[in-house]
């Protein structure tokens, strides 16, 4: 397994670009199953999760052509409407094919995701929604088997809790259902709105995407189209924290500043100088004494749970005590123990972490437990004294496109050891 070797102590400076959003690209790839015509997607990040989804789509029957950050998909016929455990266990977003397959061919067989390092992300909300749309659901042998031989029909679906993938899955199912579907308490994330934009280009009728109520008027068929994926707000946010934590002067280009508004607000409260040079860039200067600021994760437009680990790394380097509350996932503090190995002063108390700083971190051997935890370890290593070796970086490869190369270009002393 690959490792990162990082020598800390360098302030990052220069420009670093954001790739396309992984969390937007995954449902977009799944949406290509809804039509037999070609769908071309641009700005697809070259990360591990995307390769897994492409492999799944090929197994289902799609023709997938990759050229740089452009992916062309064509599914004239669904050969095997199934997502096997071997793929779903490595990437839970594989379950996003459930809605499109039931809508397109009236049946689907998708593995239950099972456990996850950062806590349960149950698929029961997907199942409930599909049942409301008229699908018959059976769970057996670790799989969800859904059938709608007469097609899906519109309905009002109220989610008991906000779910991003559930909203996306039901939206894709509803575009080919008969009549109107209303999704209430829907996720408002930019990735949901981006998926809706793609579906509308394909001929879907969707209103309200990006709000808590989405209305979908079903159509008989969808057509092919071209679409460019939005920038990755989590990657952009990670780089902004990298600039702040190293006391550098870093400009993140090719991003959407509105999508990282909650993080920018927190960085400004710490005392970091954050400005917007233009419509697609954010600049952070982290020189001077930064102070602690409490944070609670929330659904969008609140502070993203996917940036919580990175923010915790920053709080180890600022003056005072910060209380970080995790409200989305029940087991997303696994990085705290590894940060403590590097010298961080962190105490866990249920859903909150109390971080006291500033602490002089020292390089150590650490293990990445999940995608965003691994990013926090990279950030900590950038300011630690000496050398840090991060094992199991395949986690970070799931969602960051060659992060070591991007960071090296702005001054980080980081290399991959194969």
* Percent of the chain as helix, strand, coil, to the nearest 5: 35, 30, 35
Cβ-proximal residues to 163 (8 Å cutoff; 6+ apart), any chain: 125, 126, 187
Sign of the torsion angle spanned by Cα atoms 141, 143, 144, 146: negative
Secondary structure class of 274 (helix, strand, coil): strand
Cβ-based neighbours of 138, under 8 Å, separated by 6 or more: 144, 145, 146, 147
Q: What is the DSSP letter of 281?
A: E
Strands 249-253 and 82-83: unpaired
Q: Which residues are catalytic?
A: 116
Q: Residue 213 to residues 59, 193, 380: CA-CA distances in angstroms?
A: 34, 12, 40
Q: Are 112 and 134 in contact (CB under 8 A)?
A: no
**H helix intervals, 140-232:** 164-174, 190-201
Looking at residue 160, the DSSP 8-state letter turns out to be S
Cα of 294 vs its chain's centroid, Å: 23
CB atoms within 10 A of CB 235: 27
Phi, psi of 241, rounded to the nearest 5 degrees: -65, -35
The rounded distance, in Å, linking the Cα atoms of 228 and 231 is: 9
Angstrom distance (rounded) from CA 112 to CA 108: 12
- Bond from prior residue into 358 cis (ω within 30 degrees of 0): yes
Measure the CA–CA gap between 407 and 390, rounded to whole angstroms: 15
Distance from chain centroid for Cα 27 = 11
Residue 6 β-bridge partners = 388, 414
Q: Residue 28 is encoded by which pair of tokens?
A: 């977009």
Neighbour-count burial for 205-230, b at 16+ CB within 10 Å, e otherwise: ebebbbeeebbbebbeebebbebbbb
């Amino acid at each position: 397994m690959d490792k990162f070797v990082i020598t800390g102590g360098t302030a990052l400076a220069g420009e670093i670009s954001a790739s396309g959003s992984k969390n937007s690209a995954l449902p977009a790839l799944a949406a290509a199953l809804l039509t037999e015509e070609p769908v071309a997607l641009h700005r697809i990040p070259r990360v591990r999760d995307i390769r897994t989804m492409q492999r799944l789509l090929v197994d289902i029957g799609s023709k997938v052509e990759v050229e740089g950050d452009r992916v062309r998909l064509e599914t004239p016929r669904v050969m095997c409407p199934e997502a096997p455990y071997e793929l779903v266990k490595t990437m839970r977003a594989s379950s996003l094919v459930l809605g499109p397959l039931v809508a397109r061919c009236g049946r689907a067989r998708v593995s239950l995701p099972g456990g996850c390092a950062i806590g349960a992300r149950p698929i029961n909300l997907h199942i409930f929604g599909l049942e409301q749309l008229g699908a018959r659901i059976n769970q057996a042998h670790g799989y969800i088997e859904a059938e709608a031989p007469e097609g899906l029909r519109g309905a009002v679906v109220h989610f008991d809790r906000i779910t991003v993938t559930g909203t996306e899955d039901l939206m894709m199912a509803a575009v080919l259902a008969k009549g109107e579907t209303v999704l209430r308490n829907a996720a408002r994330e930019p990735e949901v709105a981006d998926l809706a934009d793609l579906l509308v280009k394909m001929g879907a009728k969707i209103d309200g995407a990006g709000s808590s109520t989405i209305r979908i008027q079903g159509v008989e068929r969808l057509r092919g189209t071209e679409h460019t994926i939005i920038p990755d707000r989590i990657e952009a946010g990670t780089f902004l924290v990298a600039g702040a934590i190293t006391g550098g002067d870093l400009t993140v280009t090719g991003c959407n500043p509105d999508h990282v508004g909650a993080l920018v607000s927190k960085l400004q409260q710490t005392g970091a100088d954050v400005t917007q040079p233009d419509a697609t860039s954010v600049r952070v200067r982290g020189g001077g004494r930064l102070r602690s600021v409490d944070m609670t994760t929330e659904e969008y437009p609140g502070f993203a749970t996917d940036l919580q680990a990175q923010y915790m790394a920053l709080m180890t380097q600022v003056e005072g005590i910060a209380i970080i509350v995790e409200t989305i996932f029940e087991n997303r503090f696994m990085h705290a123990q590894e940060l403590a190995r590097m010298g961080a002063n962190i105490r866990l108390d249920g859903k909150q972490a109390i971080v006291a700083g500033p602490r002089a971190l020292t390089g150590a051997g650490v293990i990445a437990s999940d995608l965003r935890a691994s990013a926090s370890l990279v950030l900590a290593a950038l300011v630690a004294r000496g050398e840090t070796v991060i094992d199991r970086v395949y986690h970070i490869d799931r969602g960051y496109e060659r992060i070591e190369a991007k960071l090296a270009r702005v001054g980080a002393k980081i290399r991959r050891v194969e």
